[in-house]
Structures are given as structure tokens and as C-alpha cells.
Structure 1
Amino acid sequence: MRIDAAIDAFVRQLTVDRGLSEQTARAYRGDLVDLAAFAEEAGVTEAEAIDLELLRDWQWHVSDRLAKSSLARRTAAVRGFTAWLARTGAAAGDAGARLRAPKSDKHLPRVLDRSQLDVLFARLEGRAAGDDPVAIRDLAIVELLYASAIRVSELVGLELGDVDRTRLMVRVLGKGGKERVVPFGVPAARALDRYLGAGRPALLRDGIDALLLDTLFLGARGAPLTARTVYQLVASLLADLPGSGPAGPHTFRHTAATHLLDGGADLRAVQELLGHASLATTQIYTHVSAERLKAAYATAHPRA
């Protein structure tokens, strides 16, 4: 089987059998297409001809243009691909079983403090004070991201029926198709009520596909909101705030989790809220809290 055909079959298996999202499947395909291009330059076009030496050559070839975290992700994709080749009989053995990637550098996630949140929400509320439906929507988006700590992919996938405005709960579809119900607070409820009453109706276009009418958050032209739009919104909001690290929607997820733990929330409750399969993933926020405590100690203690 040719490598490109094998990649197509592997990606189909990811979406059909394992239930991965289209976004995740596209990421896998992108990583494997890079390997296929390198293999073709080396004269290898058949999947069964992929061996460990080729994979290590590819890994070395891309290492100078990829961060450690990106290289680790691509290596994981390749290992999954070669394991699938061996399992399905498309290759005699698993060429990637012994392929190793450098450990990615561990960076603590960016977390906003309370004063930064106050500035940010004041800015959003000022924009939404008029009748601009996009500004009204943007306030509801950020309020919900911080209140519920959901992922951007979960946010843009929400439908009207997913929001329980009486119980202040929202039902989200997380990674691997796992569903969970998470709470949100009164400020987010107020922002959502205003968006649903004044913002969303103004964004709807005449003649829009009836199948899209259930989508909760809409773009400026009435189509379903995209993750790219949310990233652009958050990046613009965080641009003027002190702090380093990524400036995407995950910042609000990190911030919410850290503030919950700072406030005494149980780690397992935060794990359930975030939809983490492993408690170890949630524990990164205990490290963030510890770093914040150390910083406060260094600033305030006379003998620090």
C-alpha cells in the first residue's frame, strides 16, 4: 500500500472507530503528510518500506525547525501510524516502536490575576454597552469561557439546547466525544441572557440554513462561530495585559482552574469540571498555585 493511501485509511479509522474530532484528524494528517513527503524524497513510497532508520532521519530533518513540543506531537502521530500499519498487516512490523522524541519543555500556563480580569471585563462591558451585537456576543463568550473553563472547541460546538439557564449549567461535548455538564455563574448568565435576547437575533441572516439555527454562538454574518474568531478576540484582549505565554482562549481555562484551586476547590472536582481523563493533567494547576504562592511570599515576607 502506498504511504499516501495508508495515511487516508489511518485517518478514516481515527474518526470512525476512535471517534476523534475532524480537527484532531486533520492534525494527524498534517503530521503524517510531512513524513510522506520526506519518505518520497528518500525514494520510499510504500508503507511497508518504512523502517526505523528512515523515521530517525525524518526526525532529525525536522528537529531544527520544530519546537520540542511539536516534535513530540509529530513523533506520537508517526508512532500511532506505524503501529496501525503493523496491526492491519500493511507492514511486517512496527517500525516506530523504538522511535523516541525529546521530552517537551514544561511551561506553566498563563494565568490572569483578578485585577487583570477586572480590566478585561470592564473593557468588554464598555463595548457591549451599546447595541453592537458582536460586542454583546463577545462579552458572553468570554464570560462563559472563564465561568465554565470549557475548551474553545466545546464553546463553538454549543447549541441552544445545551444551555440550562434555570440551573446555570451547560452541556458540552469534550475530547473523544465525552459529554459532561458544567456550571456557570450569574455574570455569565446575565451576559448570555442579553446575547440571546438582543445579540444573537441581530446576527441571524435571512435565509440561513435551518440546521444552523440551533448554533448558540454566531459569527458577524450569521454563520456558526469559528474557533479562529475566538482566538482573534482573545488575542486582542490579552495583547495589552502584562504576562507571557500563549494568548489564546485556553488562558481563561487555565485561569479558572487556578482560581478554583486557590479558592479551596477539590482537585478531583476541578478535574471533572475540566473534563481531564487523568488527574495528573489537572495537577499542573497545583504547580501554578504554588508558583503564585512563592511569588506572593517573595514580595510580601520581610525575610524572603
Structure 2
Amino acid sequence: MTTDDEPGPLYRELREFERHLRSERGLSPHTLRAYLGDLRDLARHADTVGLGGPDELGVAVLRAWLARQHADGMSRATLARRTAAVRAFTRFLHRKGVLAEDPGVLLGTPRLNRDLPSVLSQDQAAHLLDTVEAEGPQGSRDLAVLEVFYATGVRVSELCGMDIGDLDTGRRTVRVIGKGDKERTVPIAETAVQAVEEWLRAGRPVLATEQSGNALFLGARGGRLHASIARRIVHARIAAAGDVPDLGPHGLRHSAATHLLEGGADLRSVQEILGHSSLRTTQLYTQVSVERLKKVHRQAHPRGAADS
């Protein structure tokens, strides 16, 4: 959060923009923190180059700021996010009348080199879930957490935000609040439902306190499960399983999407399940499936090694 004692020509406008983001944009806490951190860096750059006021924020200042970070070796993904943050900020200033023209529209967006995500094979996923020792309340919780991650492909923040009432065991669906507070309903496998029901029956009551509220998953002290603990659970259980690549919750999300497509699900359905705003994001998983098929072909076909 910005403070009133921060100097410089952009800080007052940045404080107003922060209030705008918090009240109107519906950004996730992670994105909000990232945007504000990016723009505070821009404000410091404006101080350094002697910007006289927010009305002097032009495309030359913005390009010089981004060029400095590119020269320092900043990743394309971070540069793309910072460009998006600046565009939102200059659009806000233009609509307020602070800027006569919006310089953000003149900025290009760095093209991202999208590496194919690492995923588990279907056998590895089954091995992982079959070998989780679900003894005691935390063991019961850990199995339920892994089952839900793999069954639904939800993000870690979405899983941690689930309440007990979000799970409909009769319809085998779970209500998910995703990015931008967008709600969706996701199917959930019967094995995951059973794991969650066992956690609710025998595990959650042991850990629950007055602070638990309606949270579906709890930490060791009874509060809502934190994202960092959920990540730790996944890494620890994968390490204990052996012969399974070390992936976090997002790796299980990638695996779920890939296995849905391998099983014949259409792209639009997978997009809806994952909560992707763009079909292009979901299409990445078709490349994963093709690469896996090519690998199998190279290994299994008599002349596969000669194929490209």
C-alpha cells in the first residue's frame, strides 16, 4: 500500500489508482500486489528522471523505464505484466483528465516464450494418490487436498478459498471463486468426493476451532488453509510417493487439464473447468498432449527414433 509521506509527482495519483483497483477492478490479491509494486517502481523512475507532474508522463518515459528493466535482464513475463500495469494506470489517468492522451496504448507487449508445462502421466497421478498415507486429521486432509487439485484442476487460491457449502456431493460439483471474483461450477470425481467426506467426518472436527468458520480445508491450528501450506502439502506428498516428478499445485492443474484432453474432452469444456478467460491459454495443453504422443511414438515405434 502506498503512504501519504511518499514523495514524487506520481504518488498521489498512484494512491487514487490503488483505491480504484481495490473497489472496482476485482483483481486477485496477488495481481493487485504485483501491479502496485510495478507502479511504485515507475514512480521512483519518474523521480529519478525529474518528472515535473503526472501530466508529463509520456510514452518516452514509459519506454525508458521498460528498456532499463530489459537491460537488467528482467524476464519477458514480468515485462509483459509491468506493461499491463502501466496501461491500466495511464488509462485511469486519461479518463480522469490528468493526461490529454493515453501513452499506454503506444506500448508494445513483449511476446512470451511459452514453455510447455510439466505434467504427471496418468499412471504417476494414480500412484501419487494411491500412496498417500491418510492417517490422522492432517493425513486425511492432505489426501482430500490432492484429490481435489487433481480432480478439478483448480488454482491453489481457489482451493484454499473453498467453504464447506461449496461442495455439492449429490451433484458431484464444487463452486469455485476464481480470478476477478468470477464464479464457476466444476465437476468433481467420486474419489475426490469420498476423500473430502472422510476429511469432513473424521479430520476436520479434530482441527476445527472458533476461527475455522466455514472453511473447507484447515491448517494445523484450525484457521483456513493457507496457499503456502497447500503447496507444501503437495511437494511433501509427491516426495513421499517416490518415482513422481516434483510438481506443485499448478503442476497438478496442468496434469488434470492434459488428462482431460487425452481422455477426449473438448477444448471449450476444459476452458470452462479451468476458468480460463481465453481459449488460447487452454490450447497450450493440446501441445502437451501432442508432445507426449510423439514421445511415446519415438519410444515404441520401430522407426520412431528417426522421426522428428
Say yes or no: does 1:72 pair with 2:80.
yes
**How does 1:132-147 map onto structure 2 within 5 Å?**
133-147=137-151
Q: Which runs of 5+ in 1 are unaligned?
A: none
Cα distance change on mapping 1:56 and 1:187 into 2, 3 Å: same
Alignment partner, residue 92 of structure 1: 100
Aligned partner of residue 106 in structure 1, secondary structure: coil
Give the whole-Å Cα distance in 1 for the aligned partners of 2:279 and 2:113: 20
Alignment partner, residue 55 of structure 1: 62
Match for residue 13 of structure 1 among 6, 20, 24: 20
Say yes or no: does 1:181 pair with 2:185.
yes
- Once the two structures are TM-superposed, the CA of residue 273 in structure 1 deviates from its matched residue by 1.1
Q: Which aligned segments of 4 or more residues in structure 1 are displaced greater than 6 angstroms?
A: none
Give the whole-Å Cα distance in 2 for the aligned partners of 1:96 and 1:241: 48
Contact 1:36 1:45 in 2 (8 A): no
Contact 1:14 1:20 in 2 (8 A): yes
- Once the two structures are TM-superposed, the CA of residue 147 in structure 1 deviates from its matched residue by 0.3
Alignment partner, residue 38 of structure 2: 31
Aligned partner of residue 176 in structure 2, secondary structure: strand
- Once the two structures are TM-superposed, the CA of residue 237 in structure 1 deviates from its matched residue by 4.0
Contact 2:9 2:46 in 1 (8 A): no
- Once the two structures are TM-superposed, the CA of residue 298 in structure 1 deviates from its matched residue by 0.9
Cα distance change on mapping 1:242 and 1:142 into 2, 3 Å: closer
Give the whole-Å Cα distance in 1 for the aligned partners of 2:171 and 2:105: 49
1:274 counterpart letter in structure 2: L
Summarize deviations over 1:175-194 as a string: whole Å, max 9, x none: 22221111111211121011
TM-score for the superposition, normalised by structure 2:
0.89
Alignment partner, residue 234 of structure 2: 234
Cα distance change on mapping 1:248 and 1:88 into 2, 3 Å: farther
Give the whole-Å Cα distance in 1 for the aligned partners of 2:140 and 2:83: 42
The percent identity for this pair of structures is 47
1:228 counterpart letter in structure 2: S
Give the whole-Å Cα distance in 2 for the aligned partners of 1:107 and 1:48: 40
- Once the two structures are TM-superposed, the CA of residue 107 in structure 1 deviates from its matched residue by 0.7
Aligned partner of residue 218 in structure 2, secondary structure: coil
1:52 counterpart letter in structure 2: V
Cα distance change on mapping 1:192 and 1:43 into 2, 3 Å: same
RMSD of aligned residue pairs (Cα, Å):
2.0
> What is the aligned length?
294
Summarize deviations over 1:34-86 as a string: whole Å, max 9, x none: 21122222223632222222212211221224211111111111111112111
- Once the two structures are TM-superposed, the CA of residue 166 in structure 1 deviates from its matched residue by 1.9
Give the whole-Å Cα distance in 1 for the aligned partners of 2:109 and 2:193: 45
Give the whole-Å Cα distance in 2 for the aligned partners of 1:251 and 1:163: 23
Summarize deviations over 1:266-291 as a string: whole Å, max 9, x none: 22111211122222221111111111
Contact 1:231 1:249 in 2 (8 A): yes
Cα distance change on mapping 1:113 and 1:6 into 2, 3 Å: same
2:255 counterpart letter in structure 1: T
Aligned partner of residue 17 in structure 1, secondary structure: helix
Say yes or no: does 1:264 pair with 2:271.
no
Give the whole-Å Cα distance in 2 for the aligned partners of 1:149 and 1:167: 18
1:48 counterpart letter in structure 2: D
2:154 counterpart letter in structure 1: I
- Once the two structures are TM-superposed, the CA of residue 261 in structure 1 deviates from its matched residue by 0.7
Q: Which runs of 5+ in 2 are unaligned?
A: 1-7
Alignment partner, residue 195 of structure 1: 199
Aligned partner of residue 104 in structure 2, secondary structure: coil
Contact 1:15 1:22 in 2 (8 A): no
Summarize deviations over 1:17-36 as a string: whole Å, max 9, x none: 22223332222111111211
Alignment partner, residue 162 of structure 1: 166
Contact 1:47 1:90 in 2 (8 A): yes
TM-score for the superposition, normalised by structure 1:
0.90
Summarize deviations over 1:93-126 as a string: whole Å, max 9, x none: 21222122421211111111023213322342x2
Alignment partner, residue 289 of structure 2: 289
Give the whole-Å Cα distance in 2 for the aligned partners of 1:114 and 1:102: 35
Contact 1:3 1:45 in 2 (8 A): no
Say yes or no: does 1:118 pair with 2:126.
yes
